[in-house]
Amino acid sequence: DIQMTQSPSPLSASVGDSVTITCRASQNIRNYLNWYQQKPGKAPRLLIHTASILQSGVPSRFSGSGSGTDFTLTISSLQPEDFATYYCQQSYSVPAFTFGPGTKVEI
Amino acid sequence: QITLKESGPTLVKPTQTLTLTCTFSGFSLSTSGEGVGWIRQPPGEALEWFALIYWDDDKRYSPALRSRLTVTKDTSRNQVVLRMTSMESVDTATYYCAHLSPGTLGFDYWGQGALVTVSS
């Protein structure tokens, strides 16, 4: 089974900061990596798919990169509404859609 | 516009079977490539994918829960039904159904979630 890890957690930041979250897969997943944002009491929201493609409607301050085993999600100029928990998820070993443990971005 | 909504009991007793229904609109599970997944989240914990059903009735389950799960679809009603047997307190969680995007293999639309508590 493919395992996903994330760092750091939590991540302390301020409005206007640029932050980067790292996700690592236990084996090569090519670019089959998605990122989600979840706010308390809400369902997750797909931000980025296929490692670097922004989902429709997602602000351009979100970006993703990486391939193979190492991936990053970057939020440039953090906004108040960006404080949330972020999850990576692999879709290579379909249909075992493994999620990472999450990274909470907090003030 | 795709929408999904979970429905079912909020409280089940230990050893009982949980039945949750996902009612959706905006797509058809008879269309090639479509799929609906189930993901759960215990309070304060991470997301856990555990089941998926495809348009062609192909079903996939998490190995950890496979022996307890059954997922079925009713295409005419636009519903997916989840059955999970032998519920325990550790199964207390918010249960989400979500649309699997055929093109991206990401869950692009989610239900609001249904909190299920397992307690006697």
Is B45 within 8 Å of B59 (Cβ atoms)? Answer: no
Residue in B52, B98, B111 nearest the CB of A95? B52
Residue numbers of chain B with a pLDDT score lower than 70: none
Q: Decide if pLDDT at A94 tops 90.
A: no
Q: Which residues of A touch B110 (CB under 8 A)?
A: 43-45
CB-based contact A44 B108, cutoff 8 Å:
no
Kindly list the distances between the CA atom of residue B16 and the CA atoms of A107, B8, B86, B90, B91, in Å, as whole numbers in the listed order: 42, 13, 5, 13, 11
Q: Degrees (nearest 5) of the Cα angle A43, A46, A49?
A: 155
Interface residue of A38, A97, A104 to substitute, partner B, most B CBs within 10 Å: A97
At B61-84, the pLDDT tens digits run 999 999 999 999 999 999 999 999
Residue in B46, B104, B105 nearest the CB of A99? B46
Kindly identify which residue of chain A lies nearest to residue B4, measuring between CA atoms.
Answer: A43
Is B84 within 8 Å of B69 (Cβ atoms)? Answer: yes
Q: What is the pLDDT of residue B77?
A: 97
Q: Please give the Cα distance from A51 to A24 (Å, whole number).
A: 12
Q: Please give the Cα distance from B97 to B3 (Å, whole number).
A: 10
Q: Decide if pLDDT at A91 tops 70.
A: yes
Nearest CA-CA partner of B57 in B83, B78, B40, B75: B75
Give every CB contact of residue B22 below 8 A, 6+ residues apart in sequence. B4, B5, B6, B7, B36, B38, B79, B80, B81, B82, B97, B111
Name residue A33's beta-bridge partners: A90
Residues A94-100: what's their mean pLDDT?
Answer: 83
Residue A45's pLDDT band (cuts 50, 70, 90): very high
Interface of A with B (CB under 8 A): 1, 32, 34, 36, 38, 43-46, 49-50, 53, 55, 87, 89, 91, 94-102
Q: What is the pLDDT of residue B103?
A: 83
Residue A95's pLDDT band (cuts 50, 70, 90): low
Average pLDDT, chain A: 94
Give DSSP secondary structure letters for A17-60: --EEEEEEESS--TT-EEEEEE-TTS--EEEEETTTEEPTT--T
Is A97 within 8 Å of B52 (Cβ atoms)? Answer: yes
Q: Under DSSP, is residue B67 helix (H, G, I), strand (E, B) or coil?
A: helix
CB-based contact B110 A49, cutoff 8 Å:
no
Question: How far away is chain B from the Cα of A94, in angstroms, using its nearest Cα?
Answer: 9
For chains A and B, CB pairs below 8 A equal: 69
Question: How far away is chain A from the Cα of B93, in angstroms, using its nearest Cα?
Answer: 12
Q: Please give the Cα distance from A95 to B87 (Å, whole number).
A: 23
Q: Which two tokens stand for residue A54?
A: 């922004």
